[in-house]
Amino acid sequence: MRHIPVLLREVLDLFAEVNLRTFFDGTLGAGGHAKALLEAHPEIERYIGCDRDPRAHALAQEVLAPWGEKVEFVHGSYAEQIALVDGCVDGFLIDVGVSSMQFDEKERGFSFMGDAPLDMRMDPEGDLTAAEIVNRYPEKELARIFFEYGEERRSRPVAKAIVEARKKRPIRTTGELVDIIKPVATRGKLHPATLVFQALRIAVNDELGQLEKGLKAALEKTCSSGRIAAIAFHSLEDRIVKNVFRDAKERVKILTKKPIGPSAEEIRANPRSRSSKLRAVEVL
């Protein structure tokens, strides 16, 4: 399924008054936000579209073809790439997490449905895979990851079950991992593997570290009167966004006292938007 951009109207409203000459989109994905921003801001001279996933670029290239050389495609992590931009940017956007395309590409191991290698790398050139974490990390570290990144209340029994299983043979696939954790993980409305898979994905891609580092780098790179917007999908991410913005309060105006969430209509049309939260600042 093609990725549907979340909080699109709200993102456009945040940048509506800004004269955007240079824009840095740290999570280009399928280019949904990019297309709408380029349409709304004909003054854009340079739109830098960054993504760790080269497959995302292939899709975005089709969508953004009408803007030709205004769009620069950058492969890499936004936390590192934003610091390398020459000059300052008038707008910075990140919409974190995985895209619907990444989730649907079963062979990449993001989904607990089906059976695929335990990979979960957004960047296929990245060093760390989910298999490495699951088969090599000490039990205590596994429990910490599941508790902190997945908010899995049964993190310790899950870590123990994994360590017991891997003594017999390496855990190679998502299906094998699901079978191991299902009897011990938290039971509720969600599939019992949901929180553990979320935690592994965050750890493999250092998503929280990236977010904090990326926002701090964006604060250094955004021109005066430029704006920074970040869309988070769970409380851990939103807390980081809130804290980085709050710690910079001498240098920015906070535009969202409370985070902006999706309308009932958007949730109906795109259930994935349900937990999204947008925060933004203007650099003084």
**Range 1-20, binding ligand SAM (CB under 6 A):** 3, 5
Distance CA 247, CA 210 (A): 17
Q: Near ligand SAM by CB under 6 A, which window of 94-102, 136-144, 178-186, 250-258?
A: 94-102
**Range 103-122, binding ligand SAM (CB under 6 A):** 122
Binding of ligand SAM at residue 51 (CB under 6 A)? Answer: yes
**Range 195-224, binding ligand SAM (CB under 6 A):** 210
Binding mask 161-200 for ligand SAM (x = CB under 6 A): ----------------------------------------
Binding of ligand SAM at residue 27 (CB under 6 A)? Answer: yes
**Strand order through the sheet with 22-25:** 71-75, 46-51, 22-25, 89-95, 222-232, 277-283, 252-254
**Range 121-140, binding ligand SAM (CB under 6 A):** 122
Nearer to ligand SAM, 94 or 158 (CB): 94
**Range 68-87, binding ligand SAM (CB under 6 A):** 77-79
Q: Near ligand SAM by CB under 6 A, which window of 50-58, 105-113, 238-246, 273-281?
A: 50-58
Q: Which of 7, 37, 38, 56 binds ligand SAM (CB under 6 A)?
A: 56
Which residues of the chain form contacts with ligand SAM (CB under 6 A)? 3, 5, 26-27, 29-33, 50-53, 56, 77-79, 95-97, 99, 122, 210
